[in-house]
Amino acid sequence: MKEIVDHLKRLLLSDWNDVNFVIGTNPNDLIEIKFDIESTDTAHGLNAYMNTLMNSNEIINAFNLRKVTQFWPLQEGNCIYYMIAPPWKKLYVVSCIRYFHVLIFLFF
């Protein structure tokens, strides 16, 4: 996992050297990339870059990495998160309706 994270970090630094970001793994064995919105020119450009990266990078394809669509992208405050799953991590499809009902219940 460290090799994958190191590769992604080098790649992002080469393409986005003027943007503040943090990359690492979380307790759920997902690769988490957090970008500071204020240091990016446009969030749409960042999202397009990340989608292209996931679809065309040979290392990402070699490691069979996948987007975690629930967190692709996730914006919280001044940060945009992208989560990537390794092939051994099982992802479950969560019903959007159930998810929104839980959110409504928690916040109202």
For the record, the structure tokens of 91 come out as 């992802």
Q: Between the CA of residue 53 and those of 4, 11, 56, 69, what are the distances in Å?
A: 14, 10, 5, 15
Q: How far is CA 78 from the centre of its chain?
A: 15
The backbone torsions φ and ψ at residue 82, rounded to the nearest 5 degrees and listed phi first, read -130, 135
Q: Inform me whether the pLDDT recorded for 15 exceeds 50.
A: yes
Q: What average pLDDT does range 18-41 have in this prediction?
A: 91
- The residues spanned by each domain of the chain are 2-107
The pLDDT tens digits for 66-108 are: 999 888 898 888 999 999 999 888 877 655 544 444 444 444 4
User: In this structure, what DSSP letter does residue 37 have?
Assistant: G
> Do 43 and 85 form a contact (C-beta atoms < 8 A)?
no
Q: What is the mean pLDDT of the chain?
A: 84
Identify the pLDDT of residue 93. 63
Q: Which amino acid is at 36?
A: D
This prediction's pTM:
0.79
